[in-house]
């Protein structure tokens, strides 16, 4: 492995560990803790900082590993659907951030596109999982789960992630080039 690959692996491990621990911090505010979508932040950051393969991997592994280790989120269907959602977050953020020029507003555009793509992936996964389990997943459930209940998390992501990405990029910590 090259030194750059070792750094990306180390950063990805750090983002995965943050995804495992961060829900404990936000869970202390039961009214909005789960609505803050704490595991989404490290997956998105990993994509921005390490590139799409690492963001995709961390995004996919985090909810499944957290479900197995801590029992939350429940493995089926929540963690499985979240795995696809967060993989798309990290993969899309990493791919687009590498592809597009580093101009003002690009970080926000990449973040919004990644958030929308991830929520669509979550909805598609929930439809497939509902079909496999013989239950239903309605348009109202999709809108509530993907948007209505996630507004605090979306606001947090839109405020926090661009600031962190820009700061880390300026500090030379971004490996996604």
What tens digit of pLDDT does each residue of 75-122 get? 999 999 999 999 999 999 999 999 999 888 999 999 999 999 999 999
123: pLDDT strictly greater than 80: yes
Q: What is the CATH number of domain 3-170?
A: 1.10.1760.20
Nearest CA-CA partner of 68 in 80, 56, 59: 80
pTM: 0.95
Structural domain spans, the chain: 3-170
> Are the CB atoms for 53 and 94 separated by under 8 Å?
yes
Per DSSP, which regions of 9-137 are E strands? Answer: none
Kindly report, residue by residue over 160-176, the tens digit of the pLDDT. Answer: 999 999 999 999 999 98
Q: Is the peptide bond prior to 77 cis by the omega test (within 30 degrees of 0)?
A: yes
Which residue has tokens 């839109």? 158
Question: Measured in whole angstroms, how far is the alpha carbon of residue 146 from the centre of its chain?
Answer: 13
- pLDDT attached to residue 92: 98
Kindly report, residue by residue over 22-59, the tens digit of the pLDDT. Answer: 999 988 776 777 899 999 999 999 999 999 999 999 99
């Amino acid at each position: 492995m090259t030194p750059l690959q070792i750094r990306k692996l180390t950063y990805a491990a750090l983002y995965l560990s943050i995804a495992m621990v961060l829900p404990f911090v936000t869970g202390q505010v039961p009214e909005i803790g789960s609505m803050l979508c704490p595991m989404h932040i490290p997956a998105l950051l990993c994509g921005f900082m390490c590139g799409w393969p690492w963001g995709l991997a961390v995004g996919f592994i985090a909810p499944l590993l957290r479900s197995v280790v801590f029992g939350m989120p429940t493995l089926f269907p929540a963690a499985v659907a979240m795995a696809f959602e967060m993989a798309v977050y990290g993969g899309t953020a990493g791919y687009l951030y590498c592809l597009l020029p580093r101009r003002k507003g690009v970080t926000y555009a990449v973040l919004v596109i990644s958030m929308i793509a991830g929520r669509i992936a979550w909805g598609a996964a929930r439809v497939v999982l509902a079909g496999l389990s013989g239950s239903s997943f309605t348009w109202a459930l999709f809108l509530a789960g993907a948007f209505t209940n996630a507004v605090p998390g979306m606001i947090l992501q839109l405020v926090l992630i661009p600031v962190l990405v820009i700061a880390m990029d300026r500090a030379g910590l971004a490996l996604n080039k």
